[in-house]
Amino acid sequence: MSRIGLLLRGIRASRREGYLHLLSGVLSRPARWQRNFPSRSDQGARCMDCGVPWCHGYCPVHNQIPEWNALVSEGDWRAAWEQLESTNNFPELTGRLCPAHCEDACTLRLSDAPITIRAIELAIIERAWRRGWVRPQRPTDASLDQSRGRVSIIGSGPAGLACAQQLVRVGHEVTVFEASPKIGGLLRYGIPDFRLEKWVLDRRLAQMRAEGVRFLTQVKVGVDMDARELMQDGEMLVVASGSCTSRDISVPGRRLTGIHFALAYLTGQNHSLEPGRAARTLPIDARGLDVVVIGGGDTGSDCVGTAIRQGARSVTQVQYQAEPPHHGDVLRHWPERVPELKPNDHDAEGGRRLWGWETVAFASDGQRVVGVDLQRLRWRQQDDGRWRREPVSGELWHLPAQLVLIAIGYEHPAHGDVIAQLDLRLDGRGNIASGDRDYKSSHEGVFACGDARRGQSLIVWAIREGRQCAEAVDRHLRGRSDLPRV
Ligand SMILES: Cc1cc2nc3c(=O)[nH]c(=O)nc-3n(C[C@H](O)[C@H](O)[C@H](O)COP(=O)(O)OP(=O)(O)OC[C@H]3O[C@@H](n4cnc5c(N)ncnc54)[C@H](O)[C@@H]3O)c2cc1C
Ligand code: SF4
């Protein structure tokens, strides 16, 4: 038999084996199929090409996962990359940072480890960069023959960037305005280097510049210029300004020196690492300090990792949620995310996590913070099924802390500047109100996408919104659009 024949037979066998294994798992027999899958191709070959590909449905950009799994397992990496690029502008970001709900929804998870979809995604795109397949994509002559519009985009996070790339590829003139010194939004100034090295972003930005996107940095629209100036001569405006108004806690001692919002801390660290910066001093330095991070989530975890790398004496992350089970009940929750304790790199690095404690006060030496007072919580399920937290009497704890970082989420986009100038209507949560199909705001010719519209979310959702918003803008300008809706 030829090598190709053997390969195809292997794939078919592996799928058959996968189905048999799934059946045995559903019948509650203990998992006994503990094979090692050393390569991405082996992982791809585990895919069963399910009748209903839950992974695809649970991916916000609807990546065509079973298709690339098959192509990777057959060794056709170029075709796999073409599939991937057709739905996702920045797989090098999602392949590194996406929480991968696709893997939670993988059918194999019912009885075994899911396919390592995110790692395959990253392997495909990194191979494509190495081989030189990723090149600027210029608009076709057919798109250029159609009427071209001018679009200004406020904000250069993943939503603004995805929107810009989609629009420039069908021939529109696109300018991105960014308040910060460099392009990238939270990818550049929020997420630390140890999770996203900035060359990954710069590599993609070079492609976008070559495609014709204009970037203007250090222009805060609404302050340095009036947002309405961007709309002269029928120009369209997309607001993709993110959602970075930090949520605060209101307890005694909150205004003490040494208590900061997490984003201020992470942004300062990212700025200090920029090449060519004259003063490499840190605005907020954890060296030698006891650090308490209040709040879980990506932001809190990034604070823990940063403080450890800065040389903190101790780092404790406090959250009011109860500790999740170490092994979740997959059959009960699948294809949704199973609540269970996720491994955290910072545990091994020396960070400590406390569950079920609430901050009730900050202690001071008269001026600076010196500690955090915690109250133990108990979670009780109510008659209506909801869980409510209540204090456990007498269980208090005092943690020493000379630096406290508040990482309990974000409320909405900044309401001054652009939103005030354009008098944009807000939704009940304080985000910009705009349709989830047409992305139109309450101001004619102004669209909104990303966190500014949906509230603080994920990179993959920002990419999806940027792509869909581009399709809506293109349709508005030309009466129709060849861009995909996702
Ligand atoms: C610390 C941290 C870690 C995270 N980790 C992850 C992760 O691991 N995985 C994941 O999927 N998601 C993660 N997220 C969430 C993710 O980064 C965001 O959901 C995503 O960046 C939102 O993209 P966006 O384009 O809507 O907005 P942003 O990335 O916030 O970009 C908005 C941009 O608009 C600019 N801007 C605002 N107003 C103006 C103005 N008036 N004029 C000009 N420019 C303006 C801002 O300077 C900013 O650069 C994390 C978030 C944080 C804070
Ligand atoms: S973008 Fe996220 S959800 Fe979609 S395939 Fe990649 S890892 Fe999975």
Report how far ligand 2's centroid is from the alpha carbon of 121 (Å).
8
Mutate to test the pocket of ligand 1, among 59, 61, 186 (most ligand atoms within 8 A of CB): 186
Q: What confidence score (pLDDT) does residue 16 get?
A: 45
Q: Which ligand is nearest to the CA of 158?
A: 1
What six digits make up the tokens of 429? 């949560």
**pLDDT at position 282:** 65
Name the residue among 367, 362, 366 with its Cα closest to residue 399.
362
Taking the centre of ligand 2 as the mean of its atom positions, its distance from the CA of residue 56, in whole angstroms, is 8
pLDDT for the residue numbered 288: 97
How many Å lie between the centroid of ligand 2 and the Cα of residue 330?
20
Q: Cα of 242 to ligand 1 centre, how many Å?
A: 5
Summarize pLDDT for 444-464 with one digit per residue, the tens.
999 999 999 999 999 999 999
Q: Which two tokens stand for residue 300?
A: 């809190």
Rounded to the nearest whole angstrom, what is the distance from the C-alpha of residue 54 to the centroid of ligand 2?
Answer: 12
Parallel, antiparallel or unpaired: strands 173-177 and 150-154: parallel
Residue nearest to ligand 1 atom 15, measured at CA? 458
Residues 27, 20: Cα–Cα separation, whole Å = 11
Does ligand 2 have an atom closer than 6 angstroms to the CB of 121? yes
State if residue 102 touches ligand 2 by the CB under 6 angstroms criterion.
yes
Domains, the chain, ranges and CATH? Answer: 3-131 (1.10.1060.10), 141-244+411-478 (3.50.50.60), 259-406 (3.50.50.60)
Least confident residue range of 11-25, 302-316, 329-343, 402-416: 11-25
pLDDT at 21 over 60: no
How many Cα atoms sit within 13 Å of 310 on the Cβ side? 29
Q: Using the Cα atoms of residue 34, residue 39, residue 41 and residue 44 in order, give the sign of their dihedral.
A: positive
Residue 8 has pLDDT above 70, yes or no: no
Considering every ligand atom shown, identify the ligand nearest to the alpha carbon of residue 61 and give its number: 2
Given a cut of 90, is residue 90 above it in pLDDT?
A: yes
In whole angstroms, what is the distance from residue 156 CA to residue 355 CA? 35
